């Protein structure tokens, strides 16, 4: 599969503080790549490094096989970027801003702009400073999408959008994907990753912990075990697992043991009730977060 | 982008222009009655009491307050020099930095445009407005002086041009300094400090021989007003130095801005 974006050993320190370390990943043409992690994990640092807004301490970013340079106009024309917090020119109306945006692209992407304005129900007569967070986000989406980029870099794209508009946005993403657009999708919302992404990268404390296909992640054997027994304390000691929940005669654990070993241990005690649940995808993500 | 930048910076240009024109209008309106009264001769006599060095600091040793043009040569052009330099410094410190201060830089740099082009376009707009301000003031003063009597037109023309030299250097200097910060707030005090600090150094350099060396570290030396008043000519060396300094400061600005972390 053709690689669109390649990040090689990206490292960024802010003084002595680590942003990201040795982060490497590849995005294939036409895929939606979810990029998730808790606050301060290094998501925005990674995106800002890709966009050349900050200087990398080490590492390289390649776009369509060529080093992504901050001043390469041809490359920039093929990238659409939606930052998590959008700051636009407050003195302009939406129409003026979109007209201004069009002037940077040849040919002017006027038709796509009109289509997106209609689809996202944006009032072009409003001033940017008058827009609500959701409407500002919609304008940001139009700006990122209107020139039909080959690579879309979206950071917290749905924050501020109402549920109906979120659904419309997911549809839009899928349509772009079908046209062959590659999408780098950074988010906090775990269920949107399972809904729209093909693969996911999980980042924590500046380190990329895992890259996996969503389908494979769903099949992960992460289980939660709830045990009710009068001998709960002894059982807990033998399991050597910190319980997620505990009462006088109940514990809930995230099972990291091989299933037969677990059964062997449980067999030694008088168990009153036993529940084994398969973790949801969100719980699998959280497992990596913690 | 050029059109947008011209539009964004027009309001502040207009405010500065009207403010300066307003001040000079008042002077030109009341000056005929001052100049025709006996008081002005008394004032000229009184000025003779002052030490020559102090008079030299305000060009009063080589001009007289007995006409509007005389006032312009002594005090008027000092005001123009200081005000246009303040304007140039403020424009220089804000024109690039504003995008970072307003956080719109993330949007602007995501567009297919190079950082060098961003700086070039903004620099050009700043220059257009600084020169327009100086030109506008010059035209206004010319009309006002024409209505108030005869004056040395060549000398006036050259004096009207001189603020361009220190203003442009201050503009580029403040622009360069602005690339070392992310917040506009920090820059206003620094800009005014540069302008007034530099003017104080220039004044001190005219007071005594021991302090004459200070002229080498003041941008206002480049205006060379005394030479223009005395010899009705602009020293080409000042033009050359202003040009070289401006180009140098501009090149460093571009180099530094291209390496700058913008968020």
Q: What is the pLDDT of residues B73-128, one digit of tens each?
A: 777 888 899 999 999 999 999 999 999 999 999 999 999 999 999 999 999 999 99
Spatial neighbors of A170 by CB under 8 A, at least 6 apart, are A192, A195, A196
Q: Which residue of B lies nearest to A83 if distances are taken between CA atoms?
A: B106
* Closest chain B residue to A84, measured at CA: B106
B12 has a chain A CB within 8 A of its CB: no
**Euclidean distance between CA atoms A81 and A76, whole angstroms:** 10
Contacts of B62 (CB under 8 A, 6+ apart): B73, B226, B229, B230
Cross-chain CB nearest to A81 (options B103, B110, B262): B110
Tens of pLDDT, residues B212-237 = 788 888 888 888 777 788 778 888 88
A249, A168: one domain = no
- The number of angstroms, rounded, from the C-alpha of A270 to the middle of its chain's C-alpha atoms is 44
* CATH number of the structural domain spanning residue A159: 3.40.50.300
CB under 8 Å to A221, separation ≥6 — which residues?
Answer: none
Domain that holds residue A247: 223-289
Boundary-marking domain end, from A158, A190, A218: A218
pLDDT digits (tens, 9 = 90+) for A23-45: 999 999 999 999 988 888 899 99
pLDDT tens digits, A69-112: 888 899 999 999 999 889 999 999 999 999 999 999 988 899 99
Q: How close A53 gets to chain B, by Cα (Å)? A: 5
Q: Are residues A55 and A111 in the same domain?
A: yes
Q: What is the 3-state secondary structure (H, E, C) of chain B?
A: CHHHHHHHHHHHHHHHHHHHHHHHHHHHHHHHHHHHCCHHHHHHHHHCCCCHHHHHHCCCCCCCCCCHHHHHHHHHHHHHHHHHHHHHHHHHHHHCHHHHHCCCHHHHHHCCCCHHHHHHHHHHHHHHHHHHHHHHHHHHHHHHHHHHCCCCHHHHHHHHHCCHHHHHHHHHHHHHHHCCCCCCHHHHHHHHHHHHHHHHHHHHHHHCCCCHHHHHHCHHHHHCHHHHHHHCCCCHHHHHHHHHHHHHHHHHHHHHHHHCCCC
- Total number of domains constituting chain A: 2
Cβ separation of B107 and A91 shorter than 8 Å?
no
Residues A94 and A198 placed together within one structural domain of the fold: yes
A79 & A151 share domain: yes
Same domain for A272 and A205, yes or no, is no
Domain co-membership, A146 together with A29: yes
The pair of structure tokens assigned to A231 is 């001998």
Domain shared by A228 and A212, yes or no: no
Q: Are B108 and B121 in contact (CB under 8 A)?
A: no
Q: Which residues of A touch B105 (CB under 8 A)?
A: 53
Please check whether residues A178 and A154 belong to one and the same domain. Answer: yes
Q: Which residues of A touch B (CB under 8 A)?
A: 48, 51-55, 70-71, 73-74, 76-77, 79, 81, 83, 85-91, 100-101, 103-105, 143
Residue A173, pLDDT > 80, answer yes
Give the chain B residue whose CA is nearest to the CA of A139: B107
Partners of B103 on chain A (C-beta within 8 Å) are: 85, 87
Domain limit, last residue, from A202, A218, A234: A218
Domain end (from A218, A243, A265): A218
CB-based burial, A254-264: b 16+ in 10 Å, e otherwise:
bbebeeeebee
Q: Are A214 and A247 part of one and the same domain?
A: no
Same domain flag for A62 and A195: yes
Q: pTM, whole model, 2 decimals?
A: 0.81
* Shared-domain flag, residues A81 and A214: yes
Same domain, A112 and A195: yes
More confident residue, B33 or B261: B261
């Amino acid at each position: 599969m053709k690689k669109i974006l390649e990040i090689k050993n990206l490292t960024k320190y802010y003084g002595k503080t680590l942003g990201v370390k040795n982060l490497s990943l590849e995005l294939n043409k036409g895929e939606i790549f979810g990029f998730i992690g808790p606050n301060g994990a290094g998501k925005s640092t990674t995106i800002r490094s890709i966009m050349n807004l900050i200087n990398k301490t080490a590492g390289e970013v390649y776009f369509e096989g060529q080093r992504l340079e901050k001043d390469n106009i041809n490359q920039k024309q093929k990238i659409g970027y939606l930052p998590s917090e959008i700051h636009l020119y407050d003195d302009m109306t939406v129409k003026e801003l979109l007209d201004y945006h069009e002037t940077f692209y040849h040919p002017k992407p006027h038709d796509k702009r009109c289509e997106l304005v209609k689809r996202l129900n944006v009032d072009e007569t409003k001033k940017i400073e008058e827009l609500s967070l959701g409407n500002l986000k919609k304008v940001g989406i139009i700006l990122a999408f209107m020139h039909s980029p080959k690579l879309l870099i979206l950071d917290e794209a749905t924050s501020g959008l109402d549920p109906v508009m979120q659904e419309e946005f997911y549809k839009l993403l899928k349509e772009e994907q079908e046209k062959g657009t590659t999408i780098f999708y950074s988010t906090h919302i775990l269920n949107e990753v399972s809904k729209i992404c093909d693969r996911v990268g999980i980042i924590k404390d500046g380190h990329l912990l895992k890259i996996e296909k969503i389908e494979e992640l769903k099949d992960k054997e992460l289980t939660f075990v709830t045990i009710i027994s009068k001998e709960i304390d002894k059982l807990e000691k033998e399991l050597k697992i910190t319980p997620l929940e505990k009462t006088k005669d109940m514990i809930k654990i995230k099972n990291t043991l091989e299933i037969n070993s677990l059964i062997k241990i449980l067999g030694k005690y008088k168990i009153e009730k036993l529940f084994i649940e398969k973790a949801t995808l969100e719980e699998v993500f959280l497992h990596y977060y913690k | 982008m050029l059109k947008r930048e011209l539009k964004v910076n027009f309001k502040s240009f207009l405010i500065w222009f009207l403010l300066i024109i307003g001040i000079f209008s008042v002077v030109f309106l009341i000056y005929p009655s001052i100049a025709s009264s006996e008081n002005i001769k008394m004032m000229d006599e009184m000025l003779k009491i002052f030490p020559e060095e102090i008079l030299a600091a305000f060009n009063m040793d080589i001009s007289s307050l007995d006409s509007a043009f005389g006032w312009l040569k002594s005090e008027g052009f000092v005001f123009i020099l200081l005000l246009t330099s303040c304007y140039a410094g403020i424009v220089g410190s804000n024109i690039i930095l504003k995008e970072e201060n307003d956080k719109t830089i993330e949007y602007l740099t995501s567009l297919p445009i190079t950082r060098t082009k961003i700086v070039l376009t903004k620099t050009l707009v700043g220059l257009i407005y600084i020169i327009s301000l100086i030109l506008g003031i010059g035209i206004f003063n010319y009309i006002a002086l024409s209505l108030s009597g005869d004056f040395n037109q060549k000398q006036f023309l050259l004096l009207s041009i001189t603020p361009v030299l220190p203003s442009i250097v201050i503009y580029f200097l403040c622009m360069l300094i602005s690339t070392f910060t992310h917040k506009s707030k920090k820059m206003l005090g620094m800009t005014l400090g540069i302008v007034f600090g530099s003017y104080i150094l220039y004044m001190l350099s005219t007071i005594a021989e021991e302090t004459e060396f200070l002229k080498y570290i003041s941008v206002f030396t480049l205006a060379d007003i005394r030479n223009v008043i005395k010899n009705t000519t602009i020293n080409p060396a000042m033009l050359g130095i202003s040009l070289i300094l401006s180009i140098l400061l501009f090149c460093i600005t571009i180099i530094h801005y291209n390496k700058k972390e913008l968020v």
